[in-house]
Structure 1
Amino acid sequence: MDEALERAASQFGDAGVQAVAIHNGQVVWSGKRGKAIHDPSKPVTDQAMFPYSSLSKLMVATFALHQVENGVLDLDKPISAYVGDEVAGSRVVTVRMLLTHTAGYPDLYGDPATAPLFPPGDQYDPDRPYTFAMLNAGIRQPVNPGRRFEYSNTGYIILGHVLAKTSGGDQALERAYRNFVRRAGTAQVPMTDDVLTMERTQRAFGRLVHGYNRLDNGELEDFSTAYGAKGIPTDLYGLPFTDGAFAGTATGAGLLLDSLFARGNLLRPDTVRMMVTPSPQAGRSQDPDLGTYGMGTYQTREAGRTWQGHGGTYSGFSSIAATDVGRGITIAVVVNELSPPHPATVIWKELVRTASSGRS
């Protein structure tokens, strides 16, 4: 596995990488290489934290289904039952539609009301906290809700707002999630804010790697400093961005998936089966992975096995974590570079092939 990590990651120069393999709660291998920060040079450590980007959707969906199990949410009630009429389409869109990307919301990041608030928009300020009200200005009426699958960051931001409302506010949601995810930890690695968090704290800032975008001319842009951020750019993770809410280590992501899909101590078995069952709408997708999309998770085939998980990309970061449910093996990879091809996926596939060959 060490050789596989070096072989795959070396394609991306000094990109910072963490990777981990977990089997039924035990970290059986971990690796790291590259730079957490290029200038001044700082190596990646086991404690370094990476934004997970859309891998976070799996984590948000898991908590939402936990709230369904507890009777706090109903999958098929209009979300107006939880947020009133403050969100467009709330009387017809359901939690199930948000989880399965079938609500039909247009992309808020491209909307004229909100696009200038994000890089490279002329109103982007990486130090200004965002609120849901700011994002809500770009949320439009859904198109044909429930009719078709279309991967939607907007839908997951709205899902996060529903969770915040039903939890008693943003801080209450953060506390509730922290308490929920503790059960994913082990004696070897407790599940604390040091391995998985949605809070942008000074402690997290001191451990967060910088994210690098590879430009068309081949140079790397340090997204973490390119716009003059004095701390963690406030669009990297955290509320209200529940399309990419979390940051942490590869081990934190791996333990959550291992707990969900292998150990089975986050959700009931029938809930997990529902979660991983592709929606009828997703089955019509032309993408082989997204065609298997259930609720915050999809399947992918690699090395002759079916893996259940999610990937992510955003502004200098790429990630992927997935579990071979049949063997109870989870492999997670986080990288602080965004370039074609998707760095985390390239590395993950090489690690999966090696682990499946028995040469690890």
Structure 2
Amino acid sequence: MLPLFPITLAAAALFAPAVAGAAEPQARALQPLMAAEVAAGAPGVTAYVDDGHRVWQGAAGVADVRTGRRLRPTDRFRAGSNTKSMVSTVVLQLVGEHRLALTDTVARRLGPVLPYANRVTVRNLLNHTSGIPDNATPPAVELFKGDPFRRWRPEELVALVADLPQEFPAGSAWNYSNTNYTLLGMMVERSTGHTLAQEVERRILRPLGLRDSSMPLHEPTPSGSFARGYSLDYDDEYNQIPETLRDVTAHDSSGYFAAGNLVTTEADLARFFRALLSGRLLSPALLAEMKTTVPTSYGPGIRYGLGLFFFDDTPCGTLIGHGGGMPGYENQFASTPDGRHQVGIMRNYEEAPDAVTEAQGTLWSKAMELACAA
């Protein structure tokens, strides 16, 4: 078991944010909101705002509870499901190269890995209309209550749900499932002969100069200036234990694979989404496919494309992006459709108490407002 830290250590962390230009309106508006989230229990919080004219980045709290090292806006973190937007981009590039097709079935590309593999297409996987159950819980349980350094093979992750019934016929409904992207990652590797990380590096990270981003499957603690991640702990019945702060940084991340293995920074996410939405990574036809949405189970105003969420009725109108929540980290990033206005926030605490989540919601709302004010 990893050590436990009393949550009061986070509250005693440095409250003064590290900001660029403390007199800027973004700093004046967001500084107290970031401080409030740290006061609520988050070890650290970062924010990124591009209002179309200038970029502001700030951070509050600590990157490491034990040493007290302050969190920096440029620190790397585990980005969770923002990985899906990059994986979807790689898949669509392979579609453009005629090495995959949106109409390909799982069975055609991977064989009978599921009983209904011949009825689920690449498009169903990309937009979460496959009906395949989610495989996220067993790796998380292994992290908290088993061996956090267990190495998962993609085939094992699919096998976790292979005996479960399909939740609905493919294309008839929507349900978010990490298994979809496990299968897509396997298709990328099968069709290219390279690892998924190699393809993401070759097609996205290197061309865009994203030097602080990587997909390290078996690197327990990512290198460089990295924010450590924390979570409430769980008892033997898998109930959250209040007022605990467990360091869950060091683990093998192969259990997330194509669904959530990205390590990055706010600035690298901004550059990626700006390049994607401006047409640098996909042809106009494929970008249009990526922006073709279906309704989600999250209610009106939230749609899903191919690896992208669409948030309607924001201060910016429609915002496009993704988010990621995984043990130790929670983040959100979104852009206007032209990529000119962008907003992102991250905290190094997930699963977290309700007070932290509520404070982050307030911070996100204000950051969106500032991104679209100009």
The answer to whether the 8 Å contact 2:74/2:267 transfers is no
Whether 1:32 and 2:59 are equivalent positions in the alignment is yes
> Structure 1 residues 130 and 299 mapped into 2: Cα distance closer, same or farther (>3 Å)?
same
Aligned match for 1:180, one of 203, 225, 236: 203
Q: Could you tell me which amino acid in structure 2 is paired with residue 245 of structure 1?
A: N
The answer to whether the 8 Å contact 2:143/2:251 transfers is no
Matching residue of 2:155: 133
Question: Counterpart of 2:109 in 1: which secondary structure?
Answer: helix
Separation in 2, partners of 1:109, 1:175:
23
Separation in 2, partners of 1:183, 1:127:
28
Per-residue CA distance 1:225-272 (angstroms, 9 max, x = gap):
6xxxxxx3113xx575211120111111111111111x3201112222
Separation in 1, partners of 2:299, 2:197:
33
Question: Counterpart of 1:204 in 2: which secondary structure?
Answer: coil
Aligned match for 2:116, one of 76, 81, 89: 89
Identical pairs, percent: 24
Aligned match for 2:180, one of 127, 136, 155: 155
Whether 1:295 and 2:306 are equivalent positions in the alignment is yes
Matching residue of 2:228: 210
Whether 1:250 and 2:266 are equivalent positions in the alignment is yes
Using the size of structure 2 for normalisation, the TM-score is 0.79
The answer to whether the 8 Å contact 1:77/1:94 transfers is yes
Matching residue of 1:229: none
Gaps of 5+ in 1: 226-231
Gaps of 5+ in 2: 1-25, 234-239
> What do you get for the CA RMSD once the two structures are aligned?
2.7
Separation in 1, partners of 2:338, 2:276:
13
Separation in 2, partners of 1:47, 1:316:
17
Q: Could you tell me which amino acid in structure 2 is paired with residue 118 of structure 1?
A: E
Question: Counterpart of 1:337 in 2: which secondary structure?
Answer: coil
The answer to whether the 8 Å contact 2:76/2:226 transfers is yes
Question: Counterpart of 1:118 in 2: which secondary structure?
Answer: helix
Larger mean CA deviation between 196-205 and 175-184 belongs to 196-205
Per-residue CA distance 1:276-312 (angstroms, 9 max, x = gap):
2212xx26x352354x111111211321521111112
Separation in 1, partners of 2:65, 2:30:
20
Aligned match for 2:322, one of 310, 320, 325: 310
Matching residue of 1:268: 283
Q: Could you tell me which amino acid in structure 1 is paired with residue 188 of structure 2?
A: L
Using the size of structure 1 for normalisation, the TM-score is 0.82
1:349 to partner: Cα distance = 2.1
Per-residue CA distance 1:149-178 (angstroms, 9 max, x = gap):
1111121211111112212143xx222211
1:191 to partner: Cα distance = 1.4
> Structure 1 residues 311 and 213 mapped into 2: Cα distance closer, same or farther (>3 Å)?
same
The answer to whether the 8 Å contact 1:249/1:334 transfers is no
Per-residue CA distance 1:36-78 (angstroms, 9 max, x = gap):
1111211112442111111221121111111111111110121
Q: Could you tell me which amino acid in structure 2 is paired with residue 181 of structure 1?
A: I
Whether 1:331 and 2:343 are equivalent positions in the alignment is yes
Matching residue of 2:210: 191
1:20 to partner: Cα distance = 2.4
Q: When the two structures are aligned, how many residues end up with a matched partner?
A: 331
